[in-house]
Amino acid sequence: MNIQETDSAALKQYDVQNDPLIMAEVERLLAGRTRDIRLKGKIGRVFRNRIWSQTAKIIRAWMIWVAVLGVLTLALNFFMLPPEVTLPMLLPGSLLPPVALGVAFVWRKPRPPWLQTSVLLAGMLLILLSVALVGTSAGGEFYERHLNIMLFVAITAIIIFAIPLSLTITIAGIALGLYLVFQLHNPYLEVASIVDATLFFATGIIATIAARRTMTILAQKTFLLELRDRRRVSQLAEANARLEQLARTDPLTGIANRRWMMETLERLWSRSTEIGGGAAMLMCDIDYFKNLNDRLGHAEGDRCLIKVAGIIQSNMRRERDHVARYGGEEFLVVLPEMEEQEALCVAERIRESIEAAALPNPTIRASNCITLSIGVAVQAPGDSILPEQLQRRADAALYRAKQNGRNRVELHKLGG
């Protein structure tokens, strides 16, 4: 998994985009001054988890670089310097490689933060101490040189380690403390020179810490901007999804509307495998619906449409069949891969379900209940027919059902 994928996984794991408290904190921090950004609490933990992979990779690379450099330096000194100089260097110099590699091993995968922090600080102390002892053990010109190298090593760590400011300051304090202690024991320098050199290097390290702090704040601001952008993209996607849902849904009944059904028919017929086993269409119409509206009002008519739509929907095969409000009191049902006898059974089941619901319609003298007329048209497997033609056949069958007394199912027959 690469760094970008790890970052996305961390954000997804904590679901910060849907946490109103975190997003409120994001907006508050971005509204203020950049230099005042401080990530605390949950958002701070999310940020640390987000950058952990990159931080760990940098720390491991630095530790391996230090270990390799330490081994090469000892080897070169052994071949280029007299034995009386190199032999005192071996013991303190041999401490550095295993310590650096040990820190790299601990940072190979996520572990408890306290453990990784302790190992990093202890490792830095031993690495800097090793570099300083190599010079002080050799003495002479190596004394001052290796103390300067120690500070250089510390400064590179301060610059590239994306760790909390408190840890950065601790590493800087360790480096300056070691430098001052060893310089005070330097027989070649006076106290005034030691103080001047310490203050000089302290100024440089403080400037480095300030630069590291600025880099951290900018990284945190980038993180906050990313969170806000992700949230806005998510909100936009949700809004688009709602608009798409509204565009294809009948607002009254909650089922699909005519536009979506037409798109569905085009999609089904464009993929022959979808309708390779044939298809059936049902045109359903509520009997005497206009009389119901005129006598009981549109509110009662709307309630009737909602209940009828729900009953029809309940008789569909989940994720296979399609039902839509075609217009007014008409509903269009599409049954992929369904033969004639089965389609008639579905239509009859829908009609009986409506009749059994006993929805009141006082304008029907015979039953005083809502009834449904249904026209059925079937495309046999292998037939080549457009959806508009099948629909017209179902509509013709519905017309015949109305003529033959309503509350019935009629099948369209070719030549009939």
Q: Which residues are catalytic?
A: 329
Give, in order, the Cα–Cα distances in Å from 341 to each of 50, 125, 170, 280. Answer: 60, 85, 83, 10
Q: Which of 115, 192, 122, 180 is nearest to 151 (CA)?
A: 180
Q: How far is CA 59 from the centre of its chain?
A: 27
Distance CA 341, CA 343 (A): 5
Q: Which of 317, 333, 311 is nearest to 390 (CA)?
A: 333
Residues 69, 72, 73, 74: what is their CA dihedral angle, to the nearest 10 degrees?
A: 130
**Is residue 336 within a helix (H) or strand (E), and if so which, with residue range?**
strand 330-336
3-state SS assignment for residue 408: coil
Token pair listed for 205: 């390290």
Residues 25, 31, 35, 40: what is their CA dihedral angle, to the nearest 10 degrees?
A: 0
User: At residue 281, what are phi and psi to the nearest 5 degrees?
Assistant: -125, 140
Are 70 and 130 spatial neighbours (Cβ–Cβ below 8 Å)? yes
3-state SS assignment for residue 301: helix
Are 23 and 227 spatial neighbours (Cβ–Cβ below 8 Å)? yes
Strand 256-257 and strand 322-327: pairing? parallel
